[in-house]
Structure 1
Amino acid sequence: MVQKRTMIIAQILITGMMALIMSGIMSMIAIGPNEIWLKAWPHQFIIAWPIAFIVTQFVGRFGFFLAGKMTGAQAH
């Protein structure tokens, strides 16, 4: 079983990486690959990261629940 501290650190890292990538991609699609986009991206990332972290606290549990139902695996 993974320790709670390890899970929290993993969630911080994973949500940070996902927020960085997704905020970059989505803002580039909306604005286009230019100087304005490069200036806007860090701001979008700062907004996206805490939202992603909080949302995963709920969505992650539900995702594991659904995966367990689909595969017949027992949740720990």
Structure 2
Amino acid sequence: MSKKTIILAQVFISFSMALSMSGIMGFIALGADVLAVWPRSFIIAWPIAFVVSQILTPLSFKLANMLTAEPRAA
């Protein structure tokens, strides 16, 4: 995959995760009152989620590859 595709995918993933998690966790904490604070929470959460995804994506792929690697033939 190209670097451009990976970054664009991370924009979409971080957007959807920040939107859903800020809404879900806000609803758990505040109930229906979440609608008053959700936009601000999302605006703060999205850039954080994007930066964290830039760090964790390569590490996650390395770990997944390590755990699913075929044993080498001797």
Pair in the same fold by TM > 0.5: yes
Q: Runs of 5+ in structure 1 lacking a partner?
A: none
Paired residues, what number? 70
- Stretches of 4+ aligned residues off by more than 4 angstroms: none
- Between 1 and 2, higher relative CO (CA 8 Å, sep ≥ 6) is seen in 2
Q: Runs of 5+ in structure 2 lacking a partner?
A: none
TM value normalised by structure 1: 0.85
Counterpart mapping for 1:1-76 below 5 A: 2-34=1-33, 37-72=34-69
Q: CA deviation at 1:48?
A: 0.4
TM value normalised by structure 2: 0.88
- Rg larger in structure: 2
RMSD: 1.1
